[in-house]
A and B are shown apart, each in its own frame.
Chain A
Amino acid sequence: MTEPGLAVIGAGPAGLAATLAAAARGIRVTLIDSATEAGGQFYRQPAPGLGARRPQALHHQWRAWERLRDGLRAHVQAGTVRQVTDHHVWFVERRDTVGFAVHALTGPEQEQPAEIRATAVLLATGGYEKVLPFPGWTLPGVVTAGGAQAMLKGGLVLPGRTAVVAGTGPLLLPVATGLAAAGATVAALVDSADPKSFVRRSRALAGRPVKVAEGAQYAGQLLRHRVRTLLHHTVVAAHGAERLEAVTIAALDRDGRLRQDTRRRLVCDTLAVSHGMLPHTDLADALGCRVDGTDVYVDDEQRTDVPGVWAAGETTGIGGAALSLTEGHIAGRSIAARLAGRAPDPGEWAAAARTRAGLRAFFTAVDSVYVPPAHWAEQVTDGTVVCRCEEVSAGAVREAVRELGAGDLRTVKLLTRAGMGWCQGRVCGPGVAGVAGCAESAGRRPFARPVPLGVLARAGETEDQ
């Protein structure tokens, strides 16, 4: 039997780094991604037909991307890596005899099944944005910060002419500067982070000089584009009839409550909003991998607790592209050794392990600074839709808790349908939990995306024995 080798799921920084590290050590790799071009969200590329001659104008760390891109091309040409694009993986099946079967959907409507065999699997599925609800957040013109960036990087389009960038997190900086560089007027960058908490974490944050320099660079760009930055402020509401026309923002007090006297209205046609990121853990969860809180558990080699399954990048905890690259690199080396039947020597990647430890510590500090306002849920009016797919209002969620006794997210879901729509609670999960006053719980979704029933029925038929 020929060895199918390693399947890497996700062609972002983590997946690419792992692919190159494993392939360079003689492992046959199949790199599977849902997009048409490698790069993931961070290195999302304009469609080739758009003929961008200077795509780097929309990017950071372009040289790292060039190395990944060129390395991938070389391996694909040499036949050591098979690149599989436009494949939306919905399930990874563990098979005792031949490792794993990766099930994907492909084709123009993503309804044709595809199956890829592998001895080992690396989950590099990345993350997506967390947005907490507020009145008006379903209006067209309100987009996630990362979504605005993805549309800009991939399609070279802007959502409108005048944008407010709001929420909290380091992602707001590249989004605000990116939109401004591409010609949008950015009326304000509104972040709920309290400047005092930066001071309290200054030692941990200053421990990564490269990151400090990156921050300073963004600050310079914000100045140059005359973007007003309002820290310890929050968006209270988005206004408009058929589409966004303005937002109301306000300052926060020491306890994270609105300072009502500071409310003001900003005219804009775009609100790019984000309250942080969440890891994609569906595939790991369905494989039975341990998930701690929101993050897939990995050991020092980036192995999950399921034999043959590794994980790297944002799926193991949000920490940015540099950390994803480092984790992917370590995973690739570990996989190469393990598939060759030997235990790897961690001394071989000591420098990468130090970088990983430093970046994880840095992002722990970052996470404690960039937090949504403590009392954000109080601003969510009863009439505000919290589950966008099923149009469940905050009032209905509160009623389920107060009148019907729902004490956890699952019961809220059963009583209100919040989280039962197309996105399966990925978008509304944190919002519904906050409004209901319940703990956020892991999604526990059997499949990573909607699957046609016919595909599901046929996926059980295995021809190999």
Chain B
Amino acid sequence: MNPLELVRAEPGPAFTVTLDGREIEALPGQTVAAALWTAGVTSWRTTRGEGRPRGIFCGIGVCFDCLVTVNDRPNQRACLMPLQPGDAIRTQEGTGHDD
């Protein structure tokens, strides 16, 4: 059993986005975080101070732990942002403004 089977999902056609240039699949309506979890990725930024890995924590937009760079815009909340075909996700280092 997986979540899609549990709710008998018939998703629209999957599309491709990239994570640091690598292609990953996403389903329509999924957020950045949902697609990354599906791809087995649980961390996508490092902290400003100690460079520690972070990913989803609160999952509802409160904690800002899941910040990520999408289409060259840093500090987007991965748990809230729905993906579009062709979106380019980049793991974010520090403030995301250094590169």
Tell me whether chain B's interface is mostly helix, strand or loop, or mixed.
loop
Contact in complex: A141, B42 (CB < 8 Å): yes
Kindly list chain B residues whose C-beta atoms are within 8 Å of the C-beta of A143: 56-59
Q: Which residue of A lies closest to B31 (CB)?
A: A155
**Which residues from B are CB-within-8-Å of A53?**
7-10
Interface string of B1-26 (1 = CB under 8 A from A): 11111111111100000000000000
- Known A54-B8, A55-B7, A109-B73: A182·B2 in contact at CB below 8 Å: yes
Q: A48-B29, A156-B4, A421-B64 are in contact. Are A151 and B34 (CB under 8 A)?
A: yes
The A interface is mostly helix, strand or loop, or mixed, namely loop
Rounded to whole angstroms, the CA-CA distance of A199 and B63 in the bound complex is: 36
Q: With an 8 A cutoff between CB atoms, is A154 at the interface?
A: yes
Partner of A151, one of B29, B59, B82: B59
Q: Are A427 and B63 in contact (CB under 8 A)?
A: yes
- Kindly identify, within residues 407 to 431 of chain A, every residue whose CB is under 8 Å from any CB belonging to chain B: 421-423, 426-427
Is there contact, CB below 8 Å, between B6 and A181? yes
Q: How far does the alpha carbon of A146 sit from the alpha carbon of B79 in the complex, in Å? A: 13
Q: Which parts of A76-110 form the interface with B (CB within 8 Å)?
A: 108-109
Tell me whether B28 and A50 are in contact (CB under 8 A): yes
Q: How far is the CA of A390 from the CA of B42 in the complex (A)?
A: 21
Asked whether any CB of chain B lies closer than 8 Å to the CB of A257, the reply is no
- Give the docked Cα–Cα distance between A143 and B34 (Å): 13
B6 touching A183, Cβ below 8 Å:
yes
A151 adjacent to B57 (CB under 8 Å): no
* Chain A residue at minimum C-beta to C-beta distance from B12: A49
- State whether A158 touches B56 (Cβ < 8 A): no
Residues of A within 8 A of B67 (CB): 422
20 further A-B contacts with Cβ under 8 Å, apart from A58-B6, A151-B33, A388-B57, are A36-B82, A47-B82, A49-B11, A49-B30, A50-B30, A129-B62, A144-B57, A144-B59, A146-B60, A147-B60, A154-B34, A155-B31, A156-B4, A157-B34, A157-B38, A159-B42, A182-B2, A183-B5, A242-B43, A421-B64
Which residues of A are in contact with B by a Cβ distance under 8 Å? 34, 36, 41, 46-55, 57-58, 108-109, 128-129, 138-144, 146-152, 154-160, 181-183, 242-243, 388-391, 421-423, 426-427
What is B's interface to A at a CB cutoff of 8 Å?
Answer: 1-12, 27-31, 33-34, 37-38, 42-43, 47-50, 52-65, 67, 73, 76, 79-82
Q: Give 29 A-B contacts (CB < 8 Å), ordered by A residue.
A: A34-B80, A36-B82, A47-B28, A49-B12, A50-B27, A50-B30, A57-B8, A140-B53, A140-B56, A141-B42, A142-B57, A147-B56, A147-B57, A147-B60, A148-B59, A151-B79, A155-B31, A155-B37, A156-B9, A157-B3, A157-B38, A158-B2, A182-B1, A183-B3, A183-B5, A242-B43, A243-B53, A391-B50, A426-B63
